[in-house]
């Protein structure tokens, strides 16, 4: 009987299965739940095959589904948490099936009956379906949770800016403060903050709904000059000098709106985190068939190993927590849509250099 053979050779078959899964998972991490998952399913499979000796029919099929559902759901959920793909979830069960078949062929003179193999495949189908269903459900829940969190941040930031603007406006209207004093600057800052939030949200909508950009030939110096002009007020408020070093002949093929948005966000961040009276550099140069734009700040440097963390949604470094924490995430996507690369280099105890690597105008028009 197949169930007797599987019980007697349990450890050897599961060891063979583990080797197959390790090759599929490559360097992916595991967990206690993942390690327990297939052995639990294996033991359930033995019980189903043992019970099937005297039972048959649709009613028994339903009982098989209920037996495997809980363990399969746990495996699907754990796979998502560990960053596995749907393919790896499916292949995990496939590896067990292969291990059983291979081990029977190599170590047993008896063959399983067609009914036993049908039951084996039926159990695998049920387990895969339940695991994938749970995996997909978890993905949807994560996406919905991220969206709620994003909307919450957006509403919170807009409310803060609107509250500042309303208070400043009320003080000016009632004549309690002058129209040209520090309160008017608070009003201007609040309006600018709301504009930035809305502009960035519109860029994100474009990135989500448009698979291609609206490309055109642009001079890099014109892009930088526009960004520098809009950043002047914030820089002057902190007595920060913005130094531009861009070769005037450089041209790129880009979606102008997306690159302006990304560049503006990087320059605004550089000003935000640079100390009072510091310097922010904007450089542009040709490197082979590419154009390299660099924004260097004087933020004091990053904690070790934190560079890539900056690009994660809702990640914020430093003591200034104003903003949504999604600007760099959006900027990287905007640059990527232009066949570019956005990266960061840390200068310990001094600052950061954010680099936008784009194709020169002489290169072919970016395609998806």
- What SS3 string covers 307-349? CHHHHCCCCCCCCCCCCCCCHHHHHHHHHHHCCCEEEEEEECC
pLDDT of amino acid 319: 46
pLDDT of amino acid 66: 53
pLDDT of amino acid 310: 73
pLDDT of amino acid 334: 83
Between helices 58-81 and 114-173, what is the axis angle to 10°? Answer: 40
Q: How is 69-118 classified by DSSP, letter by letter?
A: HHHHHHHHHHHHHTT--HHHHHHHHHHHHHHHHHHHHHH-SS---HHHHH
Task: Look up residue 89 and give its two tokens.
Answer: 């979830």
pLDDT of amino acid 217: 92
Name the region of 286 (left: φ>0; alpha: ψ -120 to 50; beta: rest). beta
C-alpha distance from residue 5 to each of 49, 101, 213 (Å):
11, 12, 60
Look at strands 290-296 and 279-287 and give their pairing: antiparallel
Residue 330 has pLDDT above 50, yes or no: yes
pLDDT of amino acid 246: 94
The share of the chain scoring above pLDDT 90, in percent, equals 19
Ranking 6-10, 113-117, 223-227 by mean pLDDT, the lowest is 113-117
Task: Look up residue 145 and give its two tokens.
Answer: 């949770």
- Closest to 168 (Cα-Cα) out of 137, 197, 191, 150: 191
The share of the chain scoring above pLDDT 70, in percent, equals 73
**End-to-end Cα separation, the chain, in angstroms:** 55
Distance in angstroms (rounded) separating the CA atoms of residues 126 and 76: 13
Distance in angstroms (rounded) separating the CA atoms of residues 139 and 81: 10
Question: In the predicted model, what is the mean pLDDT of residues 238-264?
Answer: 90
Ranking 141-145, 165-169, 240-244 by mean pLDDT, the lowest is 141-145
Question: In the predicted model, what is the mean pLDDT of residues 249-260?
Answer: 89
Residue 367 has pLDDT above 60, yes or no: no
**Residue 216: φ, ψ to 5°:** -155, 160
Tens-digit pLDDT profile for residues 50-100: 776 555 444 355 555 555 556 566 666 666 666 666 666 677 777 877 888
52 vs 360, which has greater pLDDT? 360
Q: State the sign of the Cα–Cα–Cα–Cα dihedral 221, 227, 229, 233.
A: negative
Question: In the predicted model, what is the mean pLDDT of residues 156-179?
Answer: 80
Tens-digit pLDDT profile for residues 15-56: 888 887 777 655 455 555 456 666 777 777 777 777 765 554
**Residue 6: φ, ψ to 5°:** -65, -35
Buried b (16+ CB within 10 A) or exposed e, 228-244: bebbeebbeeeebebee
Are 301 and 321 in contact, with CB atoms under 8 Å apart? no
- Closest to 368 (Cα-Cα) out of 336, 343, 341, 342: 336
Tens-digit pLDDT profile for residues 201-223: 777 777 766 656 678 899 999 99
pLDDT of amino acid 57: 43
Tens-digit pLDDT profile for residues 265-310: 899 889 989 999 999 999 999 998 899 999 999 999 887 766 666 7
């Amino acid at each position: 009987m197949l169930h007797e053979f599987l019980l007697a050779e349990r450890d050897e078959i599961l060891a063979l299965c583990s080797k197959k899964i390790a090759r599929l998972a490559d360097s992916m991490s595991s967990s206690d739940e993942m390690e327990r998952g297939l052995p639990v399913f294996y033991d359930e499979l033995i019980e189903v095959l043992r019970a099937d000796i005297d039972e048959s029919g649709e009613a028994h099929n339903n009982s098989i589904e209920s037996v495997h559902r809980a363990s399969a759901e746990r495996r699907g959920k754990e796979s998502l948490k560990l960053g596995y793909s749907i393919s790896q979830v499916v292949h995990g069960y496939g590896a067990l099936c292969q291990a059983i078949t291979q081990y029977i062929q190599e170590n047993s003179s008896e063959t399983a009956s067609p009914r036993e193999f049908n039951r084996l495949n039926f159990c695998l189908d049920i387990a895969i379906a339940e695991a994938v269903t749970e995996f997909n459900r978890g993905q949807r829940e994560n996406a919905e949770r991220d969206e709620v969190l994003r909307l919450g941040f957006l509403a919170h930031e807009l409310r803060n800016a609107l509250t500042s603007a309303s208070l400043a406006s009320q003080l000016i209207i009632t004549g309690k403060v002058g129209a040209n004093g520090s309160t008017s600057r608070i009003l201007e800052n609040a309006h600018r903050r709301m504009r930035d939030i809305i502009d960035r949200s519109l860029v994100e909508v474009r990135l989500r709904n448009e698979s291609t950009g609206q490309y055109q030939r642009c001079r890099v110096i014109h892009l930088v000059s526009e960004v520098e002009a809009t950043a002047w007020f914030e820089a002057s408020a902190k007595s920060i000098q913005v130094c531009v070093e861009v070769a005037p002949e450089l041209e790129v093929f880009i979606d102008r709106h997306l690159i302006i948005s990304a560049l503006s966000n990087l320059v605004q961040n550089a000003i935000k985190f640079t100390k009072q009276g510091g310097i922010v550099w904007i450089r542009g140069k040709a490197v082979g068939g590419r154009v390299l734009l660099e924004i260097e700040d004087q933020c004091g440097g990053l904690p070790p190993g934190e560079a890539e963390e900056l690009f994660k949604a809702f990640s914020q470094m430093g003591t200034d927590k104003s903003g949504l924490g999604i600007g760099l995430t959006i900027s990287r996507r905007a640059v990527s849509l232009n066949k570019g690369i956005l990266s960061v280099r840390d200068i310990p105890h001094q600052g950061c250099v954010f680099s936008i690597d784009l194709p020169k105008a002489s290169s072919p028009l970016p395609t998806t």
